[in-house]
Structure 1
Protein backbone atom coordinates (compact mmCIF):
# COMPACT_ATOMS: atom_id res chain seq x y z
CA UNK A 1 0.00 0.00 0.00
CA UNK A 2 1.47 3.34 -1.02
CA UNK A 3 0.86 6.02 1.56
CA UNK A 4 -0.24 9.43 0.31
CA UNK A 5 -0.85 12.89 1.58
CA UNK A 6 -4.54 13.51 2.19
CA UNK A 7 -4.36 16.37 -0.33
CA UNK A 8 -4.30 13.69 -3.11
CA UNK A 9 -7.97 13.02 -2.41
CA UNK A 10 -10.20 15.41 -4.37
CA UNK A 11 -12.00 18.08 -2.31
CA UNK A 12 -15.77 17.69 -2.03
CA UNK A 13 -15.61 13.93 -2.58
CA UNK A 14 -17.34 11.08 -0.77
CA UNK A 15 -16.08 7.49 -0.61
CA UNK A 16 -18.24 4.59 0.56
CA UNK A 17 -17.18 1.17 1.77
CA UNK A 18 -17.05 -1.82 -0.56
CA UNK A 19 -17.99 -4.40 2.10
CA UNK A 20 -17.05 -7.35 -0.12
CA UNK A 21 -13.41 -6.22 -0.19
CA UNK A 22 -13.13 -4.82 3.34
CA UNK A 23 -12.80 -6.27 6.86
CA UNK A 24 -13.47 -5.04 10.37
CA UNK A 25 -12.01 -7.17 13.13
CA UNK A 26 -10.28 -7.44 16.46
CA UNK A 27 -7.51 -9.39 18.17
CA UNK A 28 -7.08 -10.09 21.88
CA UNK A 29 -4.58 -12.17 23.87
CA UNK A 30 -6.31 -15.38 24.99
CA UNK A 31 -5.28 -17.65 27.89
CA UNK A 32 -1.99 -15.69 28.10
CA UNK A 33 -0.48 -17.72 25.25
CA UNK A 34 -2.13 -16.89 21.94
CA UNK A 35 -4.03 -14.21 20.03
CA UNK A 36 -7.73 -14.76 19.37
CA UNK A 37 -9.25 -13.03 16.36
CA UNK A 38 -12.80 -12.24 15.38
CA UNK A 39 -14.58 -9.99 12.92
CA UNK A 40 -17.85 -8.28 12.18
CA UNK A 41 -19.79 -9.15 9.05
CA UNK A 42 -22.08 -6.11 8.83
CA UNK A 43 -20.57 -2.63 8.82
CA UNK A 44 -20.58 0.67 7.01
CA UNK A 45 -17.99 3.40 6.53
CA UNK A 46 -17.75 6.69 4.67
CA UNK A 47 -14.73 8.90 4.04
CA UNK A 48 -15.46 12.47 2.98
CA UNK A 49 -13.15 15.23 1.84
CA UNK A 50 -14.54 18.67 2.57
CA UNK A 51 -14.26 21.77 0.45
CA UNK A 52 -10.96 22.55 2.17
CA UNK A 53 -9.71 18.97 1.61
CA UNK A 54 -10.04 18.00 5.29
CA UNK A 55 -10.94 14.34 5.66
CA UNK A 56 -13.61 12.82 7.89
CA UNK A 57 -14.12 9.10 8.50
CA UNK A 58 -17.29 7.68 10.06
CA UNK A 59 -18.31 4.11 10.50
CA UNK A 60 -20.59 1.71 12.28
CA UNK A 61 -20.72 -2.00 13.00
CA UNK A 62 -23.77 -4.15 13.70
CA UNK A 63 -22.63 -5.65 17.01
CA UNK A 64 -24.68 -8.81 16.53
CA UNK A 65 -22.84 -9.54 13.29
CA UNK A 66 -19.80 -10.67 15.29
CA UNK A 67 -18.23 -13.73 13.71
CA UNK A 68 -16.09 -16.26 15.59
CA UNK A 69 -15.50 -19.98 15.01
CA UNK A 70 -17.78 -21.18 17.82
CA UNK A 71 -21.53 -20.41 17.99
CA UNK A 72 -21.60 -20.67 21.81
CA UNK A 73 -18.81 -18.12 22.05
CA UNK A 74 -20.62 -15.89 19.54
CA UNK A 75 -23.73 -16.02 21.76
CA UNK A 76 -21.64 -15.10 24.82
CA UNK A 77 -20.05 -12.16 22.96
CA UNK A 78 -23.56 -10.88 22.10
CA UNK A 79 -24.68 -11.17 25.75
CA UNK A 80 -24.47 -8.43 28.46
CA UNK A 81 -21.01 -9.72 29.58
CA UNK A 82 -19.66 -8.33 26.32
CA UNK A 83 -21.48 -6.35 23.60
CA UNK A 84 -25.06 -6.65 24.95
CA UNK A 85 -26.33 -6.46 21.38
CA UNK A 86 -30.01 -6.34 22.34
CA UNK A 87 -29.55 -3.06 24.19
CA UNK A 88 -26.64 -1.73 22.13
CA UNK A 89 -26.99 -2.89 18.51
CA UNK A 90 -24.33 -0.57 17.04
CA UNK A 91 -20.65 0.17 17.59
CA UNK A 92 -19.87 3.57 16.07
CA UNK A 93 -16.82 5.64 15.17
CA UNK A 94 -16.63 9.34 14.26
CA UNK A 95 -13.32 10.96 13.41
CA UNK A 96 -12.41 14.31 14.90
CA UNK A 97 -9.11 14.75 13.02
CA UNK A 98 -7.57 12.92 10.06
CA UNK A 99 -3.96 13.69 9.17
CA UNK A 100 -0.77 12.20 7.81
CA UNK A 101 2.65 12.33 9.39
CA UNK A 102 5.72 11.05 7.51
CA UNK A 103 3.45 8.97 5.27
CA UNK A 104 1.46 7.44 8.16
CA UNK A 105 -2.28 8.03 8.40
CA UNK A 106 -3.40 9.10 11.88
CA UNK A 107 -7.09 9.22 12.69
CA UNK A 108 -8.32 10.66 15.98
CA UNK A 109 -11.95 10.10 16.85
CA UNK A 110 -14.60 8.84 19.20
CA UNK A 111 -15.47 5.16 19.51
CA UNK A 112 -18.80 4.20 21.09
CA UNK A 113 -19.38 0.68 22.43
CA UNK A 114 -22.30 -0.21 24.72
CA UNK A 115 -23.27 3.47 24.89
CA UNK A 116 -19.83 4.46 26.21
CA UNK A 117 -17.90 6.96 24.07
CA UNK A 118 -14.16 7.36 24.46
CA UNK A 119 -11.43 9.06 22.42
CA UNK A 120 -9.29 6.81 20.26
CA UNK A 121 -6.31 7.17 17.93
CA UNK A 122 -5.86 4.81 14.99
CA UNK A 123 -2.79 4.60 12.78
CA UNK A 124 -2.20 3.10 9.38
CA UNK A 125 -2.13 3.96 5.70
CA UNK A 126 -4.27 5.41 2.95
CA UNK A 127 -3.70 4.73 -0.74
CA UNK A 128 -3.71 6.99 -3.76
CA UNK A 129 -7.11 6.90 -5.54
CA UNK A 130 -7.05 4.55 -8.55
CA UNK A 131 -9.52 3.66 -11.30
CA UNK A 132 -10.49 -0.02 -11.05
CA UNK A 133 -12.74 -2.44 -12.96
CA UNK A 134 -15.99 -0.90 -14.16
CA UNK A 135 -14.33 2.52 -14.23
CA UNK A 136 -14.83 2.85 -10.45
CA UNK A 137 -12.41 5.10 -8.56
CA UNK A 138 -11.30 3.54 -5.26
CA UNK A 139 -8.86 4.08 -2.43
CA UNK A 140 -7.83 1.97 0.54
CA UNK A 141 -7.58 2.72 4.25
CA UNK A 142 -5.93 0.35 6.73
CA UNK A 143 -6.03 1.28 10.41
CA UNK A 144 -5.16 -0.28 13.75
CA UNK A 145 -5.92 0.97 17.24
CA UNK A 146 -5.48 -0.44 20.73
CA UNK A 147 -8.31 -0.06 23.25
CA UNK A 148 -8.89 -1.26 26.79
CA UNK A 149 -12.11 -3.25 26.49
CA UNK A 150 -12.99 -2.67 30.16
CA UNK A 151 -13.30 1.08 29.48
CA UNK A 152 -16.31 0.18 27.30
CA UNK A 153 -18.01 -2.12 29.82
CA UNK A 154 -16.71 -5.37 28.30
CA UNK A 155 -15.59 -6.61 31.71
CA UNK A 156 -16.00 -10.38 31.65
CA UNK A 157 -12.91 -12.38 32.54
CA UNK A 158 -11.90 -15.54 34.38
CA UNK A 159 -8.74 -16.22 36.39
CA UNK A 160 -6.52 -19.05 35.20
CA UNK A 161 -5.56 -21.80 37.70
CA UNK A 162 -1.85 -20.88 37.74
CA UNK A 163 -2.20 -17.11 37.38
CA UNK A 164 -3.24 -14.70 34.70
CA UNK A 165 -6.64 -14.27 33.08
CA UNK A 166 -8.54 -15.81 30.18
CA UNK A 167 -8.57 -12.51 28.27
CA UNK A 168 -6.27 -9.52 28.10
CA UNK A 169 -7.90 -6.13 28.58
CA UNK A 170 -6.00 -4.69 25.60
CA UNK A 171 -7.73 -5.32 22.27
CA UNK A 172 -6.34 -4.46 18.83
CA UNK A 173 -8.97 -3.15 16.43
CA UNK A 174 -8.15 -3.76 12.76
CA UNK A 175 -10.01 -2.02 9.94
CA UNK A 176 -9.17 -2.59 6.27
CA UNK A 177 -11.43 -0.58 3.97
CA UNK A 178 -11.74 -0.46 0.21
CA UNK A 179 -13.73 2.68 -0.51
CA UNK A 180 -15.39 3.64 -3.82
CA UNK A 181 -16.01 7.21 -4.88
CA UNK A 182 -19.72 7.97 -4.70
Structure 2
Protein backbone atom coordinates (compact mmCIF):
# COMPACT_ATOMS: atom_id res chain seq x y z
CA UNK A 1 0.00 0.00 0.00
CA UNK A 2 1.91 3.03 -1.24
CA UNK A 3 1.43 6.49 0.14
CA UNK A 4 1.15 7.83 -3.42
CA UNK A 5 -1.90 5.65 -4.07
CA UNK A 6 -3.68 6.56 -0.81
CA UNK A 7 -2.74 10.23 -0.26
CA UNK A 8 -0.53 11.58 -3.04
CA UNK A 9 -0.12 15.01 -1.41
CA UNK A 10 1.10 13.50 1.90
CA UNK A 11 4.88 13.13 1.85
CA UNK A 12 6.93 10.56 3.69
CA UNK A 13 8.85 11.78 6.72
CA UNK A 14 8.36 12.91 10.29
CA UNK A 15 5.34 14.97 11.28
CA UNK A 16 5.09 16.50 14.78
CA UNK A 17 1.70 16.65 16.46
CA UNK A 18 0.66 20.24 17.17
CA UNK A 19 -1.11 20.13 20.56
CA UNK A 20 -2.51 23.63 20.06
CA UNK A 21 -4.45 22.42 17.02
CA UNK A 22 -5.18 18.86 18.13
CA UNK A 23 -7.42 17.15 20.66
CA UNK A 24 -7.22 13.95 22.70
CA UNK A 25 -10.76 13.28 23.90
CA UNK A 26 -12.75 10.50 25.53
CA UNK A 27 -16.38 9.65 26.20
CA UNK A 28 -17.63 7.43 29.04
CA UNK A 29 -21.15 6.76 30.27
CA UNK A 30 -21.66 8.20 33.77
CA UNK A 31 -25.03 7.47 35.35
CA UNK A 32 -27.54 7.94 32.51
CA UNK A 33 -25.54 10.27 30.26
CA UNK A 34 -22.23 10.41 28.49
CA UNK A 35 -19.41 12.48 29.95
CA UNK A 36 -16.93 13.97 27.53
CA UNK A 37 -13.44 14.93 28.52
CA UNK A 38 -10.07 15.84 27.11
CA UNK A 39 -6.43 15.62 28.01
CA UNK A 40 -4.90 19.04 27.44
CA UNK A 41 -1.19 18.15 27.60
CA UNK A 42 0.22 15.71 25.05
CA UNK A 43 2.90 15.34 22.41
CA UNK A 44 3.76 12.96 19.63
CA UNK A 45 5.14 12.27 16.19
CA UNK A 46 3.86 10.52 13.10
CA UNK A 47 6.43 8.88 10.83
CA UNK A 48 4.97 8.40 7.36
CA UNK A 49 6.72 5.78 5.24
CA UNK A 50 6.51 5.47 1.45
CA UNK A 51 5.05 2.04 2.21
CA UNK A 52 2.12 3.24 4.31
CA UNK A 53 1.90 -0.10 6.14
CA UNK A 54 5.32 0.64 7.68
CA UNK A 55 4.29 4.03 9.04
CA UNK A 56 4.52 4.51 12.80
CA UNK A 57 3.51 7.00 15.46
CA UNK A 58 4.23 7.70 19.10
CA UNK A 59 2.28 9.80 21.56
CA UNK A 60 2.49 10.65 25.23
CA UNK A 61 -0.40 12.09 27.25
CA UNK A 62 -0.01 13.71 30.68
CA UNK A 63 -2.75 12.08 32.73
CA UNK A 64 -3.03 14.97 35.21
CA UNK A 65 -4.20 17.19 32.33
CA UNK A 66 -7.60 15.42 32.34
CA UNK A 67 -10.48 17.89 32.00
CA UNK A 68 -14.18 16.97 32.07
CA UNK A 69 -15.27 20.53 32.96
CA UNK A 70 -16.07 19.38 36.51
CA UNK A 71 -13.15 20.11 38.88
CA UNK A 72 -14.43 17.87 41.70
CA UNK A 73 -14.87 14.89 39.38
CA UNK A 74 -11.50 15.56 37.73
CA UNK A 75 -9.78 15.63 41.12
CA UNK A 76 -11.29 12.24 42.01
CA UNK A 77 -10.42 10.67 38.64
CA UNK A 78 -6.78 11.71 39.18
CA UNK A 79 -6.61 9.84 42.53
CA UNK A 80 -5.47 6.26 43.15
CA UNK A 81 -9.16 5.21 42.93
CA UNK A 82 -9.13 5.69 39.17
CA UNK A 83 -6.09 6.88 37.14
CA UNK A 84 -3.55 7.28 39.97
CA UNK A 85 -1.71 10.05 38.14
CA UNK A 86 0.83 10.40 40.94
CA UNK A 87 2.20 6.91 40.25
CA UNK A 88 1.26 6.72 36.55
CA UNK A 89 1.74 10.24 35.16
CA UNK A 90 1.59 9.34 31.47
CA UNK A 91 -0.35 7.30 28.97
CA UNK A 92 1.55 6.28 25.82
CA UNK A 93 0.71 4.95 22.40
CA UNK A 94 3.26 3.36 20.08
CA UNK A 95 1.93 2.52 16.64
CA UNK A 96 3.36 -0.46 14.83
CA UNK A 97 1.82 0.06 11.41
CA UNK A 98 -1.12 0.95 9.21
CA UNK A 99 -3.48 -1.52 7.58
CA UNK A 100 -6.38 -1.18 5.19
CA UNK A 101 -9.70 -2.99 5.42
CA UNK A 102 -11.67 -2.06 2.33
CA UNK A 103 -11.92 1.72 2.26
CA UNK A 104 -11.02 2.10 5.95
CA UNK A 105 -7.57 2.47 7.48
CA UNK A 106 -6.40 1.39 10.91
CA UNK A 107 -3.37 2.40 12.94
CA UNK A 108 -2.38 -0.60 15.06
CA UNK A 109 -0.25 -0.19 18.15
CA UNK A 110 0.25 -0.58 21.86
CA UNK A 111 -1.56 1.59 24.41
CA UNK A 112 -0.03 1.81 27.88
CA UNK A 113 -2.09 3.06 30.82
CA UNK A 114 -1.04 2.48 34.45
CA UNK A 115 1.92 0.34 33.27
CA UNK A 116 -0.44 -2.06 31.47
CA UNK A 117 0.18 -2.38 27.74
CA UNK A 118 -2.47 -3.75 25.40
CA UNK A 119 -2.85 -3.72 21.61
CA UNK A 120 -5.41 -1.35 20.11
CA UNK A 121 -6.50 -0.41 16.61
CA UNK A 122 -7.46 3.16 15.81
CA UNK A 123 -9.75 3.71 12.83
CA UNK A 124 -8.11 6.63 11.01
CA UNK A 125 -9.52 9.17 8.60
CA UNK A 126 -7.06 11.26 6.59
CA UNK A 127 -8.37 14.84 6.38
CA UNK A 128 -5.85 16.33 3.96
CA UNK A 129 -2.66 18.34 3.85
CA UNK A 130 -1.94 22.02 3.22
CA UNK A 131 0.29 24.99 3.87
CA UNK A 132 -0.30 27.04 7.01
CA UNK A 133 0.07 30.86 7.24
CA UNK A 134 3.48 30.46 8.93
CA UNK A 135 5.16 28.56 6.11
CA UNK A 136 4.68 25.07 7.50
CA UNK A 137 2.99 22.06 5.98
CA UNK A 138 0.21 20.48 8.03
CA UNK A 139 -1.67 17.21 7.77
CA UNK A 140 -4.94 16.41 9.49
CA UNK A 141 -6.17 13.08 10.82
CA UNK A 142 -9.16 11.92 12.85
CA UNK A 143 -8.95 8.64 14.74
CA UNK A 144 -11.12 6.67 17.13
CA UNK A 145 -11.25 3.46 19.06
CA UNK A 146 -13.15 1.95 21.97
CA UNK A 147 -11.44 0.30 24.91
CA UNK A 148 -12.57 -1.52 28.04
CA UNK A 149 -11.01 0.47 30.90
CA UNK A 150 -10.80 -2.66 33.07
CA UNK A 151 -8.27 -4.13 30.60
CA UNK A 152 -5.88 -1.43 31.89
CA UNK A 153 -6.65 -1.95 35.58
CA UNK A 154 -9.09 0.95 35.90
CA UNK A 155 -11.61 -0.84 38.11
CA UNK A 156 -13.32 1.92 40.13
CA UNK A 157 -17.11 1.82 40.06
CA UNK A 158 -20.14 2.17 42.32
CA UNK A 159 -23.01 -0.31 41.88
CA UNK A 160 -26.46 1.19 41.41
CA UNK A 161 -29.95 -0.34 41.60
CA UNK A 162 -31.08 -2.61 38.80
CA UNK A 163 -27.69 -4.13 37.94
CA UNK A 164 -26.40 -0.76 36.77
CA UNK A 165 -23.18 0.98 37.70
CA UNK A 166 -21.95 4.55 38.01
CA UNK A 167 -19.53 4.14 35.08
CA UNK A 168 -19.55 2.06 31.93
CA UNK A 169 -16.58 -0.18 31.24
CA UNK A 170 -16.46 1.07 27.66
CA UNK A 171 -14.48 4.25 26.89
CA UNK A 172 -14.50 5.84 23.44
CA UNK A 173 -11.24 7.55 22.52
CA UNK A 174 -11.47 10.26 19.87
CA UNK A 175 -8.49 12.06 18.35
CA UNK A 176 -8.32 15.12 16.13
CA UNK A 177 -4.70 15.44 15.08
CA UNK A 178 -2.97 18.20 13.18
CA UNK A 179 0.67 17.40 12.50
CA UNK A 180 3.39 19.70 11.15
CA UNK A 181 6.02 18.45 8.72
CA UNK A 182 9.38 18.39 10.53
TM-score w.r.t. the length of structure 1 is: 0.90
Distance in structure 2 (CA, Å) of the matches to 1:151 and 1:112: 11
Superposition pairs of residues 9-158 of structure 1, within 5 angstroms = 9-11=10-12, 13-31=13-31, 33-50=32-49, 52=51, 54-158=54-158
Distance in structure 1 (CA, Å) of the matches to 2:22 and 2:85: 22
SS at match of 2:154: coil
What is the count of residue pairs matched by the alignment? Answer: 177
- Deviation track 1:20-41 (CA, whole Å, cap 9, x = no partner) reads 111001001111x211111101
The CA RMSD measured in Å over matched residues stands at 1.7
Change (3 A) 1:99 1:7: farther
Instruction: Please identify, of 22-31 and 99-108, the stretch whose mean Cα deviation from structure 2 is larger.
Output: 99-108
- Deviation track 1:124-158 (CA, whole Å, cap 9, x = no partner) reads 30133211212211101111100000111110101
Runs of 4+ in 1 over 6 A off after TM superposition: none
The alpha-carbon deviation at position 6 of structure 1 amounts to: 5.2
Q: Retained in 1: the 8 A contact 2:121–2:145?
A: yes
The alpha-carbon deviation at position 161 of structure 1 amounts to: 2.8
Distance in structure 1 (CA, Å) of the matches to 2:100 and 2:139: 15
Distance in structure 2 (CA, Å) of the matches to 1:6 and 1:100: 13
Q: Retained in 2: the 8 A contact 1:142–1:176?
A: yes
Q: Name the residue aligned to 2:165.
A: 165
Q: Retained in 2: the 8 A contact 1:137–1:180?
A: yes
The alpha-carbon deviation at position 50 of structure 1 amounts to: 3.5
Distance in structure 2 (CA, Å) of the matches to 1:22 and 1:100: 24
Task: Give structure 2 stretches of 5+ with no counterpart.
Answer: none
State the structure with bigger RCO (CA 8 A, min sep 6), 1 or 2. Answer: 1
Change (3 A) 1:127 1:148: same
Distance in structure 1 (CA, Å) of the matches to 2:165 and 2:24: 25
